[in-house]
Amino acid sequence: MRLRRKINLYTTVLFIFLLLLMNVSIYFVFSKQVMMNELNRAKAETEKMAFDVSENVNRISPNDLLRAYVPIDGMVGIVIEGQRQGTVVTSNSEKQLCNRPSSFYPGEESAIITFDQKKYVFVSNPIVWGDGSVVNLQITKSIQATEEMLAVLRIVLIAVTVIAMIPVLISSSILSNFIARPIRLMIETMKEIQTSGQFKRLSLEENSKDELVEMGKTFNHMIDLLQANFEKQEQFVSNASHELKTPLTVIESYASLLQRRGLKRPDLFDESVEAIHSEAIRMREMTEQLLLLAKHQEKWNIVKENVNLTDIMADLAKVYKNAYDRTVEIHSNDAIETLTDVQKLKQLLFIFLDNARKYSDEHISVYIGKTGNEAYIRIEDRGDGIPKAELPKVFDRFYRVDEARSRKQGGSGLGLSMAKEIAEAIDVRIEMDSLEGKGTIVTLLFT
C-alpha cells in the first residue's frame, strides 16, 4: 500500500474512532444523567406523596386518595406485606400497568424498570397505614418522553458522525497529498538522476520551516555532496592516471633501451637502472599517498594523548640531521604540551619538513609556543617561496607550483593534500604564508 493511501486510511480510521468514542461517551453520560434525574424526581414526588397519604389516610378512602396522586402517565398503589396485589390506580394511558405483579419491600426501593417493552421509573416507600401497619406506597411512572429525547440524541450523534466523515475524508486526502508530494518529487528526482546521470535538486519553499522542507534541504545537501565527491573522484582519477602515466612511460622507455643496448653500454645500463629505480620509488610513494588519502576520516583510528611538542620536534630534528644532513633549528622557551595523536602529528610534521628540505638549501627553523589558548608549531624555510595567487591551491591534489622542478625532485603533488586530511583528523588548523624569493612559513595551530 502506498504511503498516501496509508496516511489517508490511518487518519480517517483514527478520527472516526475518536469521534465514535466521543459521541458514545456523550450519549452514555447524558442518558445516565437524565435517568438519574428522572429517578430523583420520582423519589422526591414519592416522599411528598407518602407524607400526604399518611396524614389523610383516616379521612379519605384509599382509592380516592391514590387517585388524587396518580401520575398522568403511570400508576400509584399501596402494597401490604403478604398480598400479591395491592390497591392500585393507573392513568388512562398506562392501564396495562395494573397487570404488573407487585412486591413488598421492607425499605426504600427505586429503579428503572422495563414492562411491556416500555421503560418506567419505579419508587417504593414504606409508610404507616391507618390501622398502624406498615405498607408500601409505590409509584410507577413512564419515562417515554425521556426515551424519545434520547432516541433523538442518538439520531443526531449518528448524523453528526456520518456528516463529519465527509470533511475527514477530504482533509485526510489533502493531508496525505501534502505529505506525499515532496516524497514523490524526491522519488521522481532520484529516478531522473538514475536515468540521465545528471545531478538534480528539489525546488523548495524557502519561507517554510517544516520537516518536509528540512527533508528536502537535506536531500539537496546530499546531492551537493555526491556531486562534489563525484567531480573530485573524476578529477582524482584523471590526475592519478596522468601522474602514473609519466613514470610508467619512463620505466618502459628505459626498459626498452636496456633491451636494445643495455649489455653493450655499461654507462647506459647504470643510467637506466637508476632512472627505473627512481621512478619505481616515486610510484610507490605516490600509491601509498593515494591509498592514505582514499581513507575516510573515521578510519584514521585517532588516539589522542598529552604530548610535549618540544620533545617531538627534537626527535624529528635528529632524524633529519642523520638522514639528510640538514639542520633543523628549534626555538622554544617552555615545554609546550597539547592533546593530540602522536603518530599522526609526526606524519604531518614530516610532510612540511620534507617540503622545506626539498625546496630550501638552507637550515630550517621551527618555533614552538602558545598564543592564547592554542599551542602552535611554526616551520620556516628560506626557499624560493610560493606566489600569493598560488597559495589557495597548494592543498589541491596533484597541484605543483613549479611543475618541472617538482617532478625533478620527486614530488607527486599529494603531500599537502594528505597533510590537510591528517590535520582535519587530529583537529589541527593549518595557516600558510609565503613570499617569493624569501621562503615559506607554515603554522600548525592545536585547538
Question: Is the pLDDT confidence value at 244 over 80?
Answer: no
Q: How far apart are the C-alpha atoms of 104 and 83, rounded to whole Å? A: 8
Return the pLDDT at 414.
66
- Average pLDDT over every residue of 113-117: 88
Return the pLDDT at 282.
67
Question: Is the pLDDT confidence value at 367 over 90?
Answer: yes
Q: Are 308 and 386 in contact (CB under 8 A)?
A: no
- Average pLDDT over every residue of 283-292: 68
Average pLDDT, the chain: 81
Lowest mean pLDDT among 17-21, 329-333, 388-392, 439-443: 388-392
pLDDT category, 403, cuts 50, 70, 90? very low
Q: Compare 201 and 342 and report the one with higher pLDDT.
A: 342
Lowest mean pLDDT among 126-135, 222-231, 263-272, 313-322: 263-272
Whole-structure pTM over 0.85, yes or no?
no
What residue ranges define each of the domains in the chain, with the CATH number in brackets?
3-151 (3.30.450.20), 211-293 (1.10.287.130), 298-446 (3.30.565.10)
- Average pLDDT over every residue of 88-113: 87
SS3 443: strand
Please give the grid coordinates belonging to residue 376: 602552535
**Most confident by average pLDDT, 176-180, 288-292, 346-350, 363-367:** 363-367
Lowest mean pLDDT among 19-28, 71-80, 91-100, 257-266: 257-266
- Average pLDDT over every residue of 396-422: 61
Return the pLDDT at 404.
39
Phi then psi for residue 248, to 5 deg, are -65, -40
Write the CA distances from 259 to 112, 152, 277, 411, integer angstroms. 119, 110, 16, 29
Return the pLDDT at 284.
76
pLDDT category, 405, cuts 50, 70, 90? very low
Q: How far apart are the C-alpha atoms of 406 and 408, rounded to whole Å? A: 5
Q: Compare 264 and 430 and report the one with higher pLDDT.
A: 430
In terms of Cβ atoms closer than 10 Å to its own Cβ (0-12, 13-18, 19+), residue 340 is buried
Return the pLDDT at 401.
58
Return the pLDDT at 57.
74
Question: Is the pLDDT confidence value at 208 over 70?
Answer: no
Instruction: Give me the percent of the chain exceeding a pLDDT of 90.
Output: 15
Q: How far apart are the C-alpha atoms of 115 and 117, rounded to whole Å? A: 5
Q: How far apart are the C-alpha atoms of 109 and 102, rounded to whole Å? A: 13
In terms of Cβ atoms closer than 10 Å to its own Cβ (0-12, 13-18, 19+), residue 313 is buried
pLDDT category, 407, cuts 50, 70, 90? very low
For the chain, the 3-state helix, strand and coil shares in percent, each to the nearest 5, are: 60, 20, 25
Question: Is the pLDDT confidence value at 360 over 70?
Answer: yes
How many residues does the structure list for the chain?
447
Instruction: Give me the percent of the chain exceeding a pLDDT of 70.
Output: 87
| Site of grid cell 615559506 | 440
